[in-house]
Amino acid sequence: MTPGVRRYDPDRRQRIIDAALRVVGERGIAGLTHRSAAAEADVPLGSTTYHFKTLDDLLVAALRQANEGFAQAVARSAALADPDADLAGALAGLLGEFLAGDRGRVELEYELYLAALRRPALRPVAAQWCEAVSAALMPRTDPVTARALVAAMDGIGLQVLLTDAAYDEEYAREVLRRVLRPS
């Protein structure tokens, strides 16, 4: 390449985000640096700092991307559109599918999500995820119950991951049914 000529690379930003997710998946958040992301993405170090001024900016982009899966699955669920469908059963099934998927990916999503405890820049993204899932549930329930369902699913998911226990769909269904019961 001729000095001073920039290579056109419209996918570079996305490659850096994907690389950051791989680095965090392999080494944890502590292993993510601009340098490690650049090396994993096979881009110059300056590219990471051009697209993501701070490491938190890169983590925000990674968390945003990691959060898309489950929220979209809930939003696409046929049970949300059908007022007669068993919502607790459908959500327990969706949670089971999520947890049965690529365990490394699920752990990565939770690691980024929980990183918001120590990294305030991530908190709005974590909150947006909760709000997106809650909003997807609101056609079937009220806002408070929707948030309680999200909290219950989060708790069950974390218990499965932290204890290496098998996911118990019947248990999850019963917990979610109890949240849905009017008081």
**Number of domains present in the structure of the chain:** 2
107 and 172 assigned to the same domain: yes
The model's pLDDT over 92-133, given as tens digits with 9 standing for 90+, comes to 999 999 899 888 888 888 888 888 899 999 899 889 888 989
Q: What is the pTM of this model?
A: 0.81
* CA gap 112, 21 in Å, rounded: 9
Residue 1 lies inside a defined structural domain of this protein:
no
CA-closest candidate to residue 137, choices 155, 125, 152, 149: 149
Residue 176 lies inside a defined structural domain of this protein:
yes
Place 1 in a pLDDT band, splitting at 50, 70 and 90.
very low
pLDDT at 58: 94
* CA gap 105, 183 in Å, rounded: 37
CA-closest candidate to residue 17, choices 178, 169, 43: 43
Give the domain CATH number at 161.
1.10.357.10
127 and 168 assigned to the same domain: yes
pLDDT at 182: 67
pLDDT at 73: 78
pLDDT at 170: 97
79 and 30 assigned to the same domain: no
94 and 35 assigned to the same domain: no
CA-closest candidate to residue 133, choices 116, 162, 111, 113: 113
Residue 35 lies inside a defined structural domain of this protein:
yes
The average pLDDT across 23-45 equals 93
114 and 169 assigned to the same domain: yes
Residue 4 lies inside a defined structural domain of this protein:
no
Give the domain CATH number at 18.
1.10.10.60
Residue 3 lies inside a defined structural domain of this protein:
no
Helix (H, G, I), strand (E, B) or coil at 176: helix
The average pLDDT across 9-38 equals 92
The model's pLDDT over 134-152, given as tens digits with 9 standing for 90+, comes to 998 998 999 999 999 999 9
47 and 86 assigned to the same domain: no
32 and 64 assigned to the same domain: no
φ, ψ dihedrals at 7, nearest 5°: -80, 130
Whether 3 shows a pLDDT value over 60: the answer reads no
pLDDT at 4: 43
pLDDT at 20: 94
84 and 125 assigned to the same domain: yes
20 and 105 assigned to the same domain: no
63 and 153 assigned to the same domain: yes
The average pLDDT across 34-42 equals 95
Is residue 18 within 8 Å of 41, Cβ to Cβ?
yes
Whether 174 shows a pLDDT value over 50: the answer reads yes
82 and 21 assigned to the same domain: no
The average pLDDT across 168-177 equals 97
**Residue ranges making up the domain that contains 65:** 55-180
Residue 67 lies inside a defined structural domain of this protein:
yes
pLDDT at 64: 87
Residue 171 lies inside a defined structural domain of this protein:
yes
175 and 114 assigned to the same domain: yes
Residue 2 lies inside a defined structural domain of this protein:
no
The model's pLDDT over 48-83, given as tens digits with 9 standing for 90+, comes to 999 999 999 999 998 888 877 777 778 888 877 788
Is residue 98 within 8 Å of 106, Cβ to Cβ?
yes
Distance from the first to the final alpha carbon of the chain: 69
